[in-house]
């Protein structure tokens, strides 16, 4: 469902 990523959003 979601691409593994660093949480870079506020």
Partner 1 sequence: MNIFRLCGDMSHLAAIIILLLKMWKTRSVAGISGKSQILFATVFTARYLDLFTSFISIYNTCMKVFFIGTVYFTIYLIYMKFKATYDSNHDSFRVEFLIVPVGGLAFLVNHEFAPLEIIWTFSIYLESVAILPQLFMISKTGEAETITSHYLFALGSYRALYLCNWIYRYYAEGFFDLIAVVAGVVQTILYCDFFYLYITKVMKGKKISLPA
Residues 1-10 within binding reach of partner 1 (CB under 8 A): 1-3, 5-10
Number of residues that bind partner 1 (CB under 8 A): 9
Helix (H) / strand (E) element for 3: namely none
> How far out from the chain centre does Cα 6 lie?
5
Question: Cβ 1 to partner 1, closest distance in Å?
Answer: 5
Task: Return the DSSP state at 7.
Answer: -
Question: Cβ 8 to partner 1, closest distance in Å?
Answer: 5
In three-state secondary structure terms, 10 is coil
Residues near partner 1, by CB under 8 A: 1-3, 5-10
């Amino acid at each position: 469902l979601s691409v593994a990523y660093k949480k870079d959003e506020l």
